[in-house]
Chains A and B, each alone.
Chain A
Amino acid sequence: DGGITQSPKYLFRKEGQNVTLSCEQNLNHDAMYWYRQDPGQGLRLIYYSQIVNDFQKGDIAEGYSVSREKKESFPLTVTSAQKNPTAFYLCASTSQGAGTEAFFGQGTRLTVV
């Protein structure tokens, strides 16, 4: 079955460490996205990529980095520069066109310890 997979489901990070969240899709979608979800604030866009080897900053990109070396994969690195990284992170993908729905992964909950 086609879908989008995030791993791990739970991740703990010590202060000052970088961590990488994985996102893989086998839907043959061109566009992929990372969102951050905090209670009562909905989804905020961190980065998005429309094609391989290209990506753009979203609304809250500071302290995060991404790569898009393969169409199927869009990993997110939370760097030590991100001052408040504890949150629920969601990856999504869409095919071309404005009317298509976004398919979401199950999310990764990152906690700083």
Chain B
Amino acid sequence: GEDVEQSLFLSVREGDSSVINCTYTDSSSTYLYWYKQEPGAGLQLLTYIFSNMDMKQDQRLTVLLNKKDKHLSLRIADTQTGDSAIYFCAERSLTGGFKTIFGAGTRLFVKA
């Protein structure tokens, strides 16, 4: 079945770039998402990319997709302490109906 994997922790200094990585298994046409979760709250969509794209940039966020390796990354430029949160990678296949498969989440710590 489908699976999404990501590392559990990342620690960076304020002002540095953060790169959060994710791998997925579904090889069909797919939407890939990055969600952010702050403590005690629900998830909010940060950005998404369709599997026929290689890159998407939105202000400080850059998403890179390597479809051959099924590898997705989220780069946050000039990371701030307010970026400290859990970041979830998720995928939703065009053949998968309504189900969205989430990774375990990467907890980003930003040190001042």
Question: A residues bordering B, Cβ < 8 Å?
Answer: 4, 6, 31, 33, 35, 40-43, 45, 48, 50, 58, 90, 92, 94, 98-99, 101-102, 104-107, 109
Contacts and interface: CB of A to CB of B under 8 A. Distances in A.
Contacts, number: 60
A40 B43 contact: no
Given A42-B102, A99-B31, 5 more contacts: A40-B104, A43-B105, A92-B43, A98-B96, A106-B40
B45 interface: yes
Interface of B: 8, 31, 33, 35, 40-45, 48, 50, 88, 90, 92-94, 96-100, 102-105
Contacts of A4: 42
Contacts of B100: 33, 94, 102
B42 A42 contact: no
Contacts of A50: 97-98
SS class, residues of chain A in contact with chain B: strand
3 A-B pairs closest in CB distance? A104-B42, A42-B104, A43-B102
